[in-house]
């Protein structure tokens, strides 16, 4: 679990840093694959990619186990089962991302808008492909709303052990969730447009979505805010790597940020 959150922290640290640099210098925006590809030229970059890939696999296994054994106490009713299914889907997605990072470490690369457009075209070539793409788009938009609400309503706090450090970092954690949700929402919106227009070229990966933001009025400022938000999301994952608690496994003497906030209300 902790290795998985650590790997996610590294991914969004690189992505957020490059996004902020693109806003500052006017350089090229990068998606997740492009950001990680930039690590290959760094000292020990390939080793770092393998570490990230292994961490993502660990995160995938954690999500699948948490879903199967209900470690986060989602429940066995319809709503709880839907949430547990979401955990399993998240695990599968991160397993796929782990494979992509491993392939990148071995010298292969596929990603960015070209990657998004390619797999969108493949889905559309299937029977009912347009509707499959629309379903994926709605799933991404749903995830985006989930992240925004998770940050705005501070739902993540029940999973974070309260310390002086986590109390101070709490506002940044909220900002990170909201910013990541906004980025996902933009990607999902473009994918939904691609489905409605039956045109795979309308699909955009994270890099192209960020580039779209920069092209709007005050775009470089907005891109800079999103870059800071992605860095905050990296920080959030780093905090979870160290301070996350598992509801079903935590002892009665463990206080969370949620407990602290409620005690001050």
Q: What is the mean pLDDT of residues 226-254?
A: 88
- Which residues are 244's β-sheet partners? 160
Query: What is the pLDDT at residue 113?
Result: 53
Query: What is the pLDDT at residue 235?
Result: 98
Q: What is the mean pLDDT of residues 29-41?
A: 84
Segment 90-129, tens digit of pLDDT: 999 899 999 989 999 998 655 555 678 888 999 999 989 8
Q: pLDDT class for 43, splitting at 50, 70, 90?
A: confident
In the predicted model, is pLDDT for residue 230 greater than 90? yes
Query: What is the pLDDT at residue 36?
Result: 87
Give the contacts of 70 (CB within 8 A, at least 6 positions apart). 76, 80, 84, 248
List the end-to-end C-alpha distance of the chain, in Å, as a whole number: 31
Q: pLDDT class for 231, splitting at 50, 70, 90?
A: very high
**Angle at 176 (CA atoms; ends 146, 141), nearest 5 degrees:** 30
DSSP 43: T
Query: What is the pLDDT at residue 265?
Result: 62
Query: What is the pLDDT at residue 121?
Result: 92
Query: What is the pLDDT at residue 26?
Result: 82
Q: pLDDT class for 258, splitting at 50, 70, 90?
A: confident
In the predicted model, is pLDDT for residue 75 greater than 60? yes
Query: What is the pLDDT at residue 200?
Result: 92
228 vs 93, more confident: 228
Alpha-carbon span 88 to 81, nearest angstrom: 10
Query: What is the pLDDT at residue 252?
Result: 65
Segment 135-184, tens digit of pLDDT: 999 999 999 999 999 999 999 998 899 999 999 999 999 999 999 999 99
Domain boundaries, the chain: 2-264
Alpha-carbon span 115 to 142, nearest angstrom: 22
Query: What is the pLDDT at residue 73?
Result: 82
Query: What is the pLDDT at residue 249?
Result: 67
Using alpha carbons, list the distances in angstroms from residue 132 to 5, 7, 128, 195, 243.
Answer: 30, 30, 6, 8, 38
Q: pLDDT class for 248, splitting at 50, 70, 90?
A: low
Q: What is the mean pLDDT of residues 232-259?
A: 84
DSSP output for 134-180 = HHHHHHHHHHHHHHHHHHHTTGGGGGBB--HHHHHHHHHHHHHHHHH
In the predicted model, is pLDDT for residue 31 greater than 80? yes
Q: What is the mean pLDDT of residues 30-48?
A: 85
Alpha-carbon span 241 to 65, nearest angstrom: 17
């Amino acid at each position: 679990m902790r290795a998985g959150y650590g790997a996610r922290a590294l991914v969004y640290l690189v992505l957020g840093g490059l996004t902020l640099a693109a806003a500052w210098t006017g350089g090229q925006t990068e998606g997740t694959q492009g950001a990680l590809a930039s690590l290959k030229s760094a000292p020990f970059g390939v080793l770092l990619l393998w570490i990230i890939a292994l961490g993502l696999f660990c995160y995938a296994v954690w999500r699948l186990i948490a879903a199967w054994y209900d470690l986060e106490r989602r429940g066995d009713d319809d709503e709880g089962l839907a949430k547990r299914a979401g955990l399993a889907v998240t695990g599968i997605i991160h397993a796929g991302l782990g494979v992509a990072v491993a392939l990148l470490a071995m010298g292969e690369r596929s990603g960015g808008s070209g990657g998004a457009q390619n797999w969108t075209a493949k889905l559309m070539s299937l029977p009912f492909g347009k509707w499959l793409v629309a379903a994926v788009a709605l799933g991404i938009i749903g995830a985006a709303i989930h992240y925004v609400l998770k940050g705005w309503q501070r739902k993540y706090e029940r999973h974070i052990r309260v310390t002086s450090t986590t109390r101070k970092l709490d506002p940044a954690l909220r900002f990170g969730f909201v910013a990541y949700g906004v980025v996902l929402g933009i990607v999902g919106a473009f994918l939904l447009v691609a489905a409605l227009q039956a045109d795979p070229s309308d699909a955009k990966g994270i890099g192209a979505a960020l580039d779209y933001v920069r092209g709007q009025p005050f775009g470089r400022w907005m891109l800079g805010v999103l870059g800071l938000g992605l860095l905050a999301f990296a920080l959030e994952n780093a905090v979870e790597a160290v301070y996350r608690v598992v509801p079903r496994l935590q002892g009665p003497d463990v206080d969370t940020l949620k407990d602290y906030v409620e005690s001050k209300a």
